Amino acid sequence: MSIHSPDRKVSITTLAQLKRDGSKFSALTAYDYCSAYAVSSAGVEVILVGDSLGMVIQGHDNSLPVTIDDVAYHVNCVRRGNNGSLLMADLPFMSYYSEQKTLESAAILMRYGAQIVKLEGGAWLSETTRLLAERGIPVCAHMGLTPQSVNHLGGYRVQGRDPNKAKEIIDEAMILEQAGASVLLLECVPVDLGKQVSEALSIPVIGIGAGPHTDGQIMVWHDLLGLYPKKPAKFVKNYLAATGGSIDGAIRAYDLDVKEGTFPAPEHCYT
């Protein structure tokens, strides 16, 4: 199989169909050619060039220092190794503060090979979402724990534990779907809220620390392989240690667990 004519090409339509079929799908971050090739060749549906690169690649404490040029550089590397997965890229901190800035930032990532852009926030992003979607740029809305707002949130905390806040997350997710978001990524919320959001939306919901009921799951590459030296979050599973084998084996074990619904297990979830 050549990566220039992959066996499959995952698109936002594929994800929508998987949701309609009730089939789960997997996602992983990747930041370079080789990891992108390994992830996509193992059958993972979505590759995210996340602004988590600020921590795992650049060694910062958070994602705020990451620039659009940083993300563009890694999208370009990942694009060359991608073997048919949907390539999602993060719009980093302060790259979507105005209409013009948003369009310029998204255009850079799309020209480098991104197929969908992800941006963090709730209903306040509905006009931004509409702006992008109407111009042919698919949007993944990122809600729950939004790491670009870590200073506002007072740390990396579980979101939506309070019933009013949980309702707000569901309502705002529906507003973003209405505005044209094609995918929602939900981070660090209780299991019940992950389930309610996934049931309330007709677009696919990808979870990270959001329980087993979301349509897809995502994990950071360095967490999958236990490479990040700081204490892992509760929702992380080191698949390289768990499988005791190869990197390819770790990716495939993760992908299978997600598709069979055995990851995340209760110990990776917030109640």
Residues forming the active site: 187
CB of 142 to ligand KIV, least distance (A): 6
User: Which of the stretches 36-44, 48-56, 77-85, 129-137 binds ligand KIV when contact is defined by CB under 6 A?
Assistant: 48-56
Residue 160 region by backbone torsions, left for phi larger than 0, else alpha for psi between -120 and 50, else beta: left
* Contacts (CB under 6 A) with ligand KIV, residues 18-47: 29
Interatomic CA distance for residues 242 and 72, integer angstroms:
33
At a CB cut-off of 8 Å and minimum separation 6, what does 113 contact? 75, 76, 78, 79, 82, 87
Q: By CB under 6 A, is residue 220 in contact with ligand KIV?
A: yes
CB of 265 to ligand KIV, least distance (A): 19
Give whichever of 185 and 253 is closer to ligand KIV, judged by the CB atom.
185
Q: By CB under 6 A, is residue 257 in contact with ligand KIV?
A: no
Give whichever of 167 and 234 is closer to ligand KIV, judged by the CB atom.
234
Interatomic CA distance for residues 34 and 69, integer angstroms:
20
Give whichever of 137 and 185 is closer to ligand KIV, judged by the CB atom.
185
Interatomic CA distance for residues 34 and 44, integer angstroms:
14
- Pick from 54, 52, 1: which is nearest to 27 by CA? 52
Burial zone of 199 (CB within 10 Å; 0-12 exposed, 13-18 middle, 19+ buried): exposed
Give whichever of 52 and 102 is closer to ligand KIV, judged by the CB atom.
52
Q: By CB under 6 A, is residue 50 in contact with ligand KIV?
A: yes
* Residue of this chain nearest to ligand KIV (CB atom): 50
